[in-house]
Structure 1
């Protein structure tokens, strides 16, 4: 057969067929493009050219072929096989990674299309991005399921439980969680398979509290959680304000000195080993003390799933959480959220009740760029988007009215500079023989007791025993003998390399170290702002949410009851272990005049009490004391310590009337107490020079506080005397004569309870008699290590404290009692010249009723004092 029929076929079927030849003959065979030889066989007759799938046709009788019969036959073949022309492909919709077929017209979607330059326009969006991103787009809705997709937007993704978190928003037009109004969650709605409401604990590392106020419009999801849930202006981190100590404090309720992680880097002299975040020791359970909440849950029949949390990938107490992930900072935030959402959809017998989720930002950006920077703003927006994905996903799986969420930070962030450094060498010379921890908080292992050298230096070194008690940072062998507090924005370097950008680890009272707190869910109050609190309280709170019984910890169980709609634990005051006795009136004539004859000033004991809110209770057994009532105060006199255990008095709002003068150097005998209990202390005249350290007998309640002569001379009773160093007396006098009077004026009167504290082994617990090591010279009267003061006022300043029938506000102080305060290095004795030094409260717990609104931090009761009042 010649080429003429071939040309006719080519002309006839040029856009529909490719032309082949049958084997063994010259017959031209048309074949449908894309179907190859399967579509057409020999084409001598139409029936032979049909595809096997075509329906059979009746045969026609054979007739002689007219001229040009071959041409008509080929045209009949074209008509016989006639189909629509092949439509070229223009999209990768449902075609991602379809094998390449060179017979297919149009663009390609196989993996090699990029190399050939023939990819469809949506290849990147439909085939590549799903393997890299965690969001649906309009193009992806109804997509064919891809095995390598991070999440899915196919029509079956809801049944499979692996939809992208914005699937229903993008593909079904539903609103995102952040767009919804605040919901009433008082009636929780959980799926039938949930026996209890789950709890998710989220950490946004380094998100200082101030960020949420300054940049609230840039973080709409976090801002909505704050507005719709329960929040605090700030949450106080534990000291030091570092990542590992605080994360482990949050889940154990223990201060770092008790939970074992006293810093991100530390040395244990017993183990003779060092711990750091990059060393194998990080995974050694011997460093971790206490019981983290995932173990509390396990021991009480619940399950836990932790997607990163310091300590969660360590075999503490012989076990891990039920589900956990070894830490890997390279895991995308979205993958962490998606995994937690998958855990929430597990079958009931596998699903955790408690979850953790940890994100490294904005801490990482804060270190790199500083706390006030574009880098931190970008990081904040990034974590806000991730939390938005979390809330969308929770809503999508129907748990937005069931899941309880707590979002916290471990600490804040402060600006630092390489120009603001204090080198240890400038103070002690060579440091080659010292083990020094550098940065925002320093620790030194040293035998010598050097004092500081420069009055205006940016560091304050403390011996372990002298560290401020409010730091709770002494009772651990891993804490060095010397600790160095650094002024905010400054660094304490040894061989410090990274100094520019941001850092944390400073005093946890510094504003920039304060962390964020937000909670949301049916267990929590709605649209409520509470007072600031310490992160040691979170463990008890989480146990209450999960209906668990917490183990012993440093928090106060029930102190956060006002966060909960229905708190399960009602705190009860501890039972008194030692009841007071009455001090009998033995004689109206004192056995010893004490060198001072004041018979005309002797007054009868007052019968009015100054314990407005109840008498302080003795929680240790075996104590012997009696109550002494005077006109201006009431005290509990200890027969063992031979001094008041506590003294309570009320200061009404002062009027501008000068106090009567005090008879100097005159102590009165107290006829209610036997002479032998007082004589040793009373004969130590404050005017007799003695060897250092000199201890003076001074009134626990200064006479100048009283408003009448009778009350003043009651304060001169020898039963009101306590041993006190001269340097501390300056502080004590300033505290009582200036600060207490100021507070009484500002808050319409205050009730004050003061007394001595004994903590010679600096473990934060009351010392037993055998632990007391320092005594008044020539006596067995112990010298206190601290003095405490608890101030209480009415929250409404329109009511006097003596007639308050509403909520109370309380603040507590612990003042170190030492012969000197050399760590402050200040030469000026003027207390008012150093008003910028604050010693803040150690507790903000006492309350009457639920306190839901926070007072301004700058307006709360707090004392300003000289350099010695360093907590």
Structure 2
């Protein structure tokens, strides 16, 4: 035992003796290591440490310590790195790359990525290439004329995208275009209309409905459609939805909507739509809240411009920017609201508890007790009570069938019988508490007011390059989109072919409608003359001379035609109509045996023609080429306090001869006319027409009666005419509901009407009323109100054609599409006018 234990004891004693020195050595070694690390950080690793401390790049939400932090607690501690917001927080709420984000460490909560591997992951922000790789964005590239579609594999035809910016007033681009680089480039490089006319009332839903529902047409013809929040797309129409659609949710970010459409464009070929719609609520929302002239609207415009830029960059990234046809559009404009420009019905009616009013600039009135009193309510009496109540009254009450025909706002039971037309910038409410949009902005006014005009830009391989076109109505866009998609349009209110000049290669060639009723002959007869009960001035030629001078040869008729019908004879599209041509030396008429009056009369007023002041109110000559009717006799109208007759071709027109135009006194040149309307008719012919002829170097006039008793904007059928005839002195009389006037001259005022290369035209559809209360004429001279009335009731020539069953300009040599462009034109009224 002793021998065995000795070595252990010896070792223990030796170890105890060495302990102090061992600890000193170990302490020294540790001190050297620590000093080495510190010196390494200070000298060798200083740049790296400093970089980590100053930037959050690659450190977002990591609990690393230093001079600044990048975790969620740094905001409370106040020691965030300077780029914390841009690098760590903004990726959660923005959809773009920036210099702070390029090459970022992938963040799970970011909306899109700017990391180096984002292309492999297919989650790059739209502007990654331009922000991080130095490539040009779409807006930075120069304009290019895309002559042919350049589409990726799998796209057999260019898709079409209809993109609506709600409430984008046309004037915004005129005024603020310099702040909107993307939209301004689309305008410059594509096809741009300075104004696009909305439908009336100029509200969001009626106009979006009027522009589409092309997705139905696409589906019926084998194409697919995808819509993102287009009004009306989330309800069934004819039992159908678009192939892809979204239930409206205004909280969905604009960027998310654009990315969704870009994703749809990447779907497999058998799932991918051919037609797309996209909708943004701006700048409408900002316009309502702050008014159209506000910094908030400018910011909203810049925001939507960024969204359009995001779309274009996305299309470029998909190589679709030379393939897709884009239509950038809005539904209406915006007007500045003012509490001082609100009219109130209680001011005139007192108690208004029994009526309800749809407030605003296109107000409508109905009884409170609906439906019981809807049809029995005295709308006409209330309209009279509210008419002309004070000087400079800013609203006019209208029974809806008296509204200007160009508004097309009557033929529906959902439109109340009593409506109100408001001056620009004015609105109507029952009383002050019922005011809405008293501040900020509003819309809904007359669709020819300049501040109600909408945006239209077309861009892509289907559109003209760098073209600016005249204004047109949004009902024409449907046919345009059908042409871009090679679809056959459904029956619609547009005029197919009228926008051919917007397209590079129009696929539709319009033609004039065919005349469906053959002309009949109206030769002179041996019928004995009747006593018409007239008293003519003896200086007028005797009747026997009229028969002799109107017995014309074909050669003489051709000479007359060149002067009176320089743009061709109106064609009659009415079915089963019996019409003959009556030639006189100064005018030609299309006389209808069905209504016993001309459907139309045409004559030309040259610059130097003058009008006499003779009164021919009781002088008629019997036209022996047609059978006489009691409505052709002076005696028929005597002692009638309201109804008389008017001349279509004015007998006062003197074309370079001292002789009276006695041919205009023929019974085939008159129409039944209320005496109140004669005031308008006489002032137009005696004053305005002469002035127009001087200003335009001559003007051709076509005028005639209109029959639209069911106020649908289309000519009455023979059955409807019979049902609405009036009985006067035991005689059935057809009294026109309106009269139309079409004025045509040369666009070049140095050319006379017979020499026109390009035409300019104006049309009017004037309501034929028993009084002139519409114009509040009491104590006024005609010069102060007649021309204003004409302007209010101006119309498209297509409106005249639809309501008369006539077709104009069929003998012109221009392409029919150019004629349709003329027919659908309607001038915009400046707010200051």
Report the TM-score, using the length of structure 2 for normalisation.
0.84
Residue 38 of structure 1: aligned partner: none
CA–CA distance in structure 1, aligned partners of residues 735 and 767 of structure 2? 12
1:700 corresponds to 2:648: yes
User: C-alpha separation between the residues in 2 aligned to 1:114 and 1:15?
Assistant: 34
Question: Does structure 2 conserve the Cα–Cα contact (< 8 Å) formed by 1:455 and 1:826?
Answer: no
CA distance in 2 between counterparts of 1:859 and 1:472 reads: 14
Residue deviations 1:63-111 (CA, integer Å, cap 9, x gap):
xxxxxxxxxxxxxxxxxxxx9999644444344445x4x7x87865454
| 1:145 Cα deviation from its structure 2 partner | 3.4
Give the whole-Å Cα distance in 1 for the aligned partners of 2:127 and 2:339: 44
SS, match of residue 226 in structure 1: helix
| Residue in structure 2 matched with residue 604 of structure 1 by the alignment | 549
Tell me whether 1:843 sits opposite 2:808 in the alignment: no
Q: Matched residue of 2:446: which SS?
A: coil
Distance in 2 separating the partners of 1:186 and 1:142: 38
Match of 2:597 among 643, 647, 653: 643
1:436 equivalenced with 2:400 (yes/no): no
Q: Which of 783, 792, 795 lines up with 1:832 in the alignment?
A: 783
Q: Distance in 1 between matches of 2:590 and 2:103?
A: 78
| Residue 231 (structure 2) aligns with | 310
Deviation by residue 1:507-559 (Cα, 9 ceiling, x = unmatched): 11222111121111111111111111111111111111111111111111111
**1:618 corresponds to which residue?**
572
Q: Equivalent residue of 1:697, what SS?
A: strand
More displaced, 3-12 or 294-303?
Answer: 3-12
Of 803, 811, 818, the residue aligned with 2:769 is 818
Which is further off, 831-840 or 491-500? 831-840
More helix by share: 2
Confirm or deny: 8 A CA contact 2:290 2:440 kept in the other structure.
yes
> Matches of residues 721-870 of structure 1 in structure 2 within 5 Å?
721-772=670-721, 773-775=724-726, 777-778=728-729, 779-804=731-756, 806-834=757-785, 835=787, 838-839=791-792, 841-843=794-796, 848-849=814-815
Is the 1:199–1:404 contact (alpha carbons within 8 Å) kept by the matching residues of 2?
A: yes
Deviations 1:365-419 (A, max 9, x none): 2222222222222222222222222222222322221111111221111112112
Deviation at 1:684, TM superposition (A): 4.0
Distance (Å, rounded) in 2 between the aligned partners of 1:444 and 1:438: 9
Looking at structure 1, the residues matched to 159 and 166 of structure 2 have their Cα atoms a distance apart, in angstroms, of 22
Map 1:209-288 to 2 at 5 A: 209-251=170-212
Distance 1:542 1:15, change over 3 A: farther
Instruction: Give distance in 1, aligned partners of 2:407 and 2:469.
Output: 23
Q: Cα 1:437–1:160, aligned 2, differ >3 Å: closer, same or farther?
A: same
Unmatched 5+ residue regions in structure 2? 1-18, 368-376, 537-541, 799-807
SS of structure 2 residue aligned to 1:649 = strand
Secondary structure (helix, strand or coil) at the match of 2:733 reads: coil
Q: Distance in 2 between matches of 1:136 and 1:711?
A: 82
Which SS does the other structure have where 1:703 is aligned? coil
- Number of the residue aligned with 2:421: 485
Taking a change above 3 Å as real, the CA distance of residues 422 and 86 of structure 1, as seen in their structure-2 partners, is closer
Deviation at 1:339, TM superposition (A): 2.2
Deviation at 1:175, TM superposition (A): 2.2
In structure 1, what is the Cα distance between the partners aligned to 2:613 and 2:354? 59
Q: Describe the superposition over 1:790-836 as per-residue Cα deviations: whole angstroms up to 9, x where unpaired.
A: 222222222212122x2222222111001013244342341212355
Residues 119, 349 of structure 1: alpha-carbon distance in 2 compared, 3 angstrom cutoff = farther
Q: Return the match for 1:175 from 136, 139, 157.
A: 136
From 660, 664, 667, the equivalent of 2:620 is 667
SS in structure 2 of the partner of residue 212 of structure 1: helix
- What is aligned with 1:59? none
Aligned position for 1:402: 323
Q: Distance in 1 between matches of 2:779 and 2:138?
A: 58
| In the alignment, structure 1 residue 137 sits paired with structure 2 residue 112 | no
Q: Please give the secondary structure, in 2, of the residue aligned with 1:755.
A: strand
- 1: CA distance, partners of 2:108 / 2:697: 70
User: Does the 8 A contact of 2:160 with 2:325 survive in 1?
Assistant: yes
User: Quick one: structure 1 residues 680 and 593, their matched pair in 2 at CA, closer, same or farther if it must change by over 3 Å?
Assistant: closer
* TM-aligned CA deviation for residue 685 of structure 1: 5.3
TM-superposition CA deviations, 1:270-306 (whole Å, max 9, x none): xxxxxxxxxxxxxxxxxxxxxx111111111112121
Question: For 1:727 and 1:474, how far apart are their aligned partners in 2?
Answer: 24
Partner of 2:341, secondary structure, is coil
Q: Which residue of 2 aligns with 1:362?
A: 283
Superposition CA RMSD, Å? 3.1
What SS does the corresponding residue of 1:14 show, helix, strand or coil? helix
TM-superposed deviation, 1:322? 1.6
CA distance in 1, matches of 2:92, 2:711: 57
Cα deviation 1:591-634 (Å, max 9, x = unaligned): 44654573365252252223322322222221112111111111
CA drift of 1:118 comes to: 5.7
Instruction: Describe the shift of the 1:106–1:350 C-alpha distance in structure 2 as closer, same or farther (beyond 3 A).
Output: farther
CA contact (8 A) 2:450 2:829 kept: no
Query: C-alpha separation between the residues in 2 aligned to 1:209 and 1:538?
Result: 16
When residues 861 and 218 of structure 1 are mapped into structure 2, their CA distance, relative to the original with a 3 A threshold, is: closer
Distance 1:113 1:714 in 2: 97
1:718 aligns with 2:667: yes
1:652 aligns with 2:616: no
Residues 590, 669 of structure 1: 8 Å contact kept: yes
Tell me the equivalent position of 2:499: 560
Report the Cα offset of residue 458 of structure 1: 1.3
8 Å Cα contact 1:15/1:85 also seen in 2: no
8 A Cα contact 1:649 1:752, kept in partner: yes
What corresponds to 1:384 in structure 2? 305
| 1:784 to 1:86, Cα distance in 2 relative to 1, 3 A | closer
Distance 1:436 1:298, change over 3 A: same
**Preserved CA contact (<8 Å) 2:796 2:826:** no
- Tell me which residue corresponds to 2:407: 471
Aligned residue number for residue 27 of structure 2: 7
Question: TM-score of the superposition, structure 1-length normalised?
Answer: 0.80
CA distance in 2, matches of 1:862, 1:643: 34
Contact 1:238-1:508 within 8 A present in 2 as well: yes
Name the structure 2 match of 1:37.
none
Q: How many angstroms does 1:226 deviate by? A: 1.5
For residues 817 and 501 of structure 1, the distance between their equivalents in structure 2, rounded to whole angstroms, comes to 39
- How far is the alpha carbon of 1:462 from its aligned partner? 0.7
Q: Is the 8 A contact 2:57 2:104 kept in 1?
A: yes
How far apart in 1 are the matches of 2:755 and 2:623? Answer: 31
Task: Say whether the 8 Å CA contact 2:114–2:125 is kept in structure 1.
Answer: yes
More deviation, 589-598/730-739: 589-598
1:462 equivalent among 381, 398, 403? 398
1:148 matched to 2:109? The reply is yes
> How far apart, in 1, do the equivalents of 2:453 and 2:745 lie?
26
Question: How far 1:16 sits from its partner (Å)?
Answer: 7.6
The residue aligned with 1:93 is 57
- Aligned pairs (5 A) from 1:502-541: 502-541=441-480
Q: Is the 1:307–1:324 Cα contact (8 Å) retained in structure 2?
A: yes
Whether the 8 Å contact between 2:288 and 2:437 is mirrored in structure 1 is no
Displacement after TM superposition at 1:582 (Å): 1.1
Please list every run of 5 or more consecutive structure 1 residues that lacks an aligned counterpart in the other structure: 19-31, 34-82, 252-291, 867-871
**How far does the alpha carbon of each residue in 1:576-598 deviate from its partner, in whole angstroms, 9 at most, with x for none?**
22111110111386344654573
- 1:87–1:370 CA distance, 2 compared to 1 (3 A): closer
Distance 2:694 2:101 in 1: 68
Q: 1:85 to 1:756 in 2, by over 3 A?
A: closer
CA distance in 1, matches of 2:296, 2:605: 51
8 Å Cα contact 2:191/2:469 also seen in 1: yes
